[in-house]
Amino acid sequence: MTEQISRLSNGLTVVTHTMPHLETTSLGIWVGVGSRHETLAENGISHFLEHMSFKGTASRSAQAIAEEIEAVGGELNAATGLETTAYFARVLKGDEGVALELLADILLNSRFSPDELEREREVILQEIAATRDMPDDIVFELVNEAAYPGQSLGRTILGPAANVRRFSPVDLAGFLKSHYRPDQMVLAAAGAVGHEPLVRHAEALFGGLTSEGIKGEEQARYQGGTRWDHKRFEQSHLVLAFEAPSYRAQEYFTAQVFSGLFGGGMSSRLFQEAREKRGLCYSIYSSAWGLSDTGLLAVHAATGTETMASLIDVTGAELEDVARNGPSDAELHRAKAQLKAGLLMSLESSSARAEQMARQLLAHGRIVGSDELIRNVDAVSVQDVGRFAQRLLAHRPSAAVVGAGKASERLAAAAVQRMGRGAVNSEAKTA
């Protein structure tokens, strides 16, 4: 590893990982601001701001931005999440200066032209409308709302159409000024890049940015419950979710290992039992994600309305079995191997490496080495996984169902009730 970290005079962090065998560089600015930092009235503004950043600056039109990056064969894009917004590029060796100047221009000098804003407003409204035709999008939005009701984490990243219709250039400029602080920003680059030249260039471009804005977010309060949508689809979609550790907790690695063996691949318990042995669905998987102060362990599956109850029962029975008996040594080994392989394979991608470094610095204030991550994964024991499953069952889950029409409400309630029954059974066996 040839990682280097510097901090500009205003607090912005610059991190590089030189990969001399590559002929390209991936770089970007990761900002520690996302939809969870929005008020109810602001919901959706982070995503709108990300879109508008590409729509023209004081010196470049939207077309000029696109032409300038593509003139060097590069790519420029962005993404908004719950806790971060990222603006990133990939270019050929030697063109990282072009990419950095474009990134600085769209972040520091966007015009938010009223004409461009109206055009992009319609684009985002169409994006929101498209999600209404995607049951997997709807069901995850609903389960987040059930898990964190009345909180920014329970709201959508895109925001409601009513908010998008009224956001003005003043709103966007105000949010940018108050939330995009240099001490909450990381410039990360990986590939054919030199550290010192990038730092000097970044200081020249970003050195005037000041930390006068807002810092912090509302503490997450997981509650759990049910949500549903009576809209019909060809399949009924279920997401069953449990509160999980934040990425700052040591148990985060237990959650990742558990998710892998429970529903992380073709050899996982849920895939084998629900699909291969019983034919209840085409796809079923689990995922575990963490934020700064909370996390979720979620199971997602789609099946026919008439088989949803059986699918819920199988999921509950498998979770109960892990809580009561723990996983086998072979299951644990496979889950750890998958995690470690994914980690090490990601190091071969410059874009994945740049993102990983940026997120680690925002989350932990340091780079977490692959050796340390692997040690944490290897340290998870059979007993750790069993206790983790018991804790999942000990607290109220969140469940969302869409696609089953009027039956969606009943099925969501049945999922929560089934997990409660599993908690009783698990406690009885382990007492």
Which residue blocks in 109-251 are alpha helix, DSSP H? 114-131, 135-147, 161-166, 169-179, 195-206
Side chain identity at 259, as an amino acid letter?
Answer: S
Report d(CA 62, CA 78) in Å as an integer: 14
Walk across the sheet containing 225-243 and list its strands. 284-290, 295-303, 225-243, 398-404
Report d(CA 387, CA 392) in Å as an integer: 9
Token readout for 117 is 């804003």
Beta bridge partners of 185: 31
Cβ-contact 35, 157 below 8 angstroms: yes
Side chain identity at 261, as an amino acid letter?
Answer: L
Q: Which of 51, 177, 31, 35 has its CA nearest to residue 113? A: 51
Cβ-contact 14, 200 below 8 angstroms: no
Residue given tokens 């009223």 in the structure block: 114
Which residue blocks in 243-307 are alpha helix, DSSP H? 252-263, 269-270
As annotated, the active-site residues are 50
